[in-house]
Structure 1
């Protein structure tokens, strides 16, 4: 056999071995994700009245909160579709409603704004929102910002979605409302790309609203991992622009919960911060948020945050505590996604340790079910 044929043979064996190894790993990795306790089909049927948090121990009427969503359907010249993030609106909407606030919805252009629905992120509250006739009527007939009467509301909440980067910053009605609310002490909240509403707001003293304010928003790292050419698509990266305007940018761990409160200004970093951001708005309004059973997604975020602050052992202990109380209390898919993100960032130790946590949680499910 010639030297060339020998090299080809060994190369084929190596490539074949790698393929077999990768396929085997893939099957094993997927085996760590048990079938969901509640199927997607059942989740899709969720109605608001099926959620105890919304129907039990109703809070008294405390006024109105305005939720603002983007009207932009396409990211600049990229032809990439966009809109507001349904999960960020739905979860905040129900937090406010459960705590006694009627929620009205506005957008720069009014009418039916474009929406982004990511099936992988959808949970019971999100499907309940889609099945909520009152909520859907409000969102499909959103108020145009020019028709909003600021005095009607106790607070405003800017919902994220990449479209906000294109129509929030230049909207003079948004700028006027935010300026008036901040200077009068009314509460202003925003999550993910929602803080784009603040970048061009100037106060009566001529200073930018966000100068020397502690602010969180979707970070450069989070943006560029999902959209590598984001600098070419967006008019700016939100973290860069906020810092350019003088904000003290408060960056948390990638794709985990991070909320900043600066007097009457409350901001959250990403979609996983929506629950906490909305509840912080309620607190800034002077109320103790109604007790809520945290979601499986939030439990997994807590485990991941424990990993970021204390490493594998702390995360494993946190995971164990959840499994002791309820083996179905965590979202194993979210742990899997974060292990993949770590691998994409070439942080192989983190990826391996998160897979070990996933395996540990799977073992807990199996052992408790025997």
Structure 2
């Protein structure tokens, strides 16, 4: 591989924003990809994948480069040189790469591979917390899996098409997909590609949604004609899946504290042909109280640490703080206690997170059941990335007594 100056400059600029200004990697990459209209898909792929790769391994590469935050531009170039050296890429004779100690870089890399927090590039507190909650072996396996690049998985929208038809339509566009055993609505791309420019996407034939995330709506056991409430709907990935499982029959009320996310959900629902969704921003407790004892099914896809989705959000390793996790656990407990009151007698509730920590998952459910005797535990599912190959997730199905 030959390094091109303008692509390397774009990557370094992006990394400065992500590391020094706290910008979100996905937003930065989106902007970078619009930087030069002459770039082809390979150029854009280099910028996106290199940026994410260096973000993912920031601690390891910075340690090898012997630099500390906040990074100067020259120090980012040193980190870039470490990345290129470890990838076996020949460094051009640019001033930024003068005196790069390539043999020393490889030696230091071999040394640091023996220490998990460097090998897997995680902060000390995260390594300690996850080892404490999951155990040494399980955490070692899980973080290794969470450091792999996420594959592109599509969820077929059965309101518009079938898996066979979509597979064929994408194949005609040279987009080869494969089915995933035990994931009835999923198709996985064999090679990464921008699927958002296809007519199949624009016409609502699919959404991009990780395979683990696709399990949640199914777990809620919805039927056409039910009244279903998605309490933390966000932009509506799971809401849209519920609509397709309900065949557009019945009612889904999508709630969220962020009205702008619900506006995005409306736009997506229109494209998906999902007409049984009503959005309601939570502007006061009245919105919740009006729905007490009204729903056949309630989904609480709770806010969480997001430790199960580090494959697609590697910058979360550096943004997340231990205080946030302590605070979010209180929020989860409050949400579960309040929103569960929307389930009618005989109805069911799913509590889900994209976290791998028992303290956000099983422990929350146990504490809730201990103080809410009108609910019973039906089943739960723990999805770990190193076993599934997809995101880490948790979901528990509870039933309200008649």
Q: Same fold (TM over 0.5)?
A: no
Q: When the two structures are superposed, what TM-score results if normalisation uses the length of structure 1?
A: 0.27
Structure with greater strand percent: 2
